[in-house]
Amino acid sequence: MKFAFPVAFDPQPNLSGDGLILKPLDACDHGALAEAASDPAIWAGHPSKTRHMREVFDPYFAFLLSAGGALAIIDEGSDEVIGCSAFYTDTNAPSRLSIGFTFLTRKYWGGQTNRALKRLMTGHVFESASEVWFHIAPSNLRSQAATRKLGAVFTHEDDVDLGGGVQRWQCFCLTREAWSGSFGRAAG
């Protein structure tokens, strides 16, 4: 599966800020990203609870490389790969730009890293679109809460194929206006 992006949108930009570097995912990132993903606790609330295992992670990494839009997340201070995220489009609504396939090592949970990551990625989307979408598994309560903190609103559930076959997802929409308000409250 390869995601189709609007012509004016660069799905693999180089972005940086707030101590993070986001760069297009490359085959040379495999070892470092596999190491970052090797903690079972990262995947405990995720539909793929065994993704910490190399035999499960390797096909996932291959999918990310082939689908387009994937970015390695690097801590600028340590130059360590701390996770990944991706831009993608909803197969049921291909004009919708989405952010997902995100994970961070536990060292970066509970702080400002997810918000900084989403600030960089949503800022990039908002250069060409007025909204960004997130698809979250109904069982992934931690990601649902984090997405709501960004200002995103749950809109509906849908059966969508995001590369692993059709699955049920909770769909959240974050508008440029809601993000500006949410970011302004958090920063000020």
CATH number assigned to the domain comprising residue 59: 3.40.630.30
Q: Which residues of the chain have pLDDT under 70?
A: 182-188
| 175 CB-side CA count, 13 A | 6
55 by Cβ neighbours in 10 Å (0-12 / 13-18 / 19+) ranks as: exposed
For the chain, how many structural domains are there in total?
A: 1
Residue 174 counted as domain residue: yes
Tokens of 158: 């849908």
Domain that holds residue 69: 15-187
* Residue 4 domain flag: no
53 part of a folded domain: yes
Which pLDDT belongs to residue 114?
87
Q: Six-digit token pair at 28?
A: 């040379």
- State phi, psi for 30 to the nearest 5 degrees: -55, -55
The answer to whether position 100 is within a domain reads yes
Give residue 97's pLDDT: 96
Instruction: Classify residue 149: in a domain, yes or no.
Output: yes
- Please, are residues 94 and 4 in contact by the beta-carbon 8 Å criterion? yes
The per-residue pLDDT for 183 is 60
Judge whether 85 lies within some domain: yes
Give me the count of residues in the chain: 188
Report the b/e string of 70-92 with b at 16+ CB within 10 A.
Answer: bbbbbbeeeeebbbbbbbbbbee
pTM for this one?
0.91
Is 62 contained in some domain? yes
- Report yes or no on 182 lying in a domain: yes
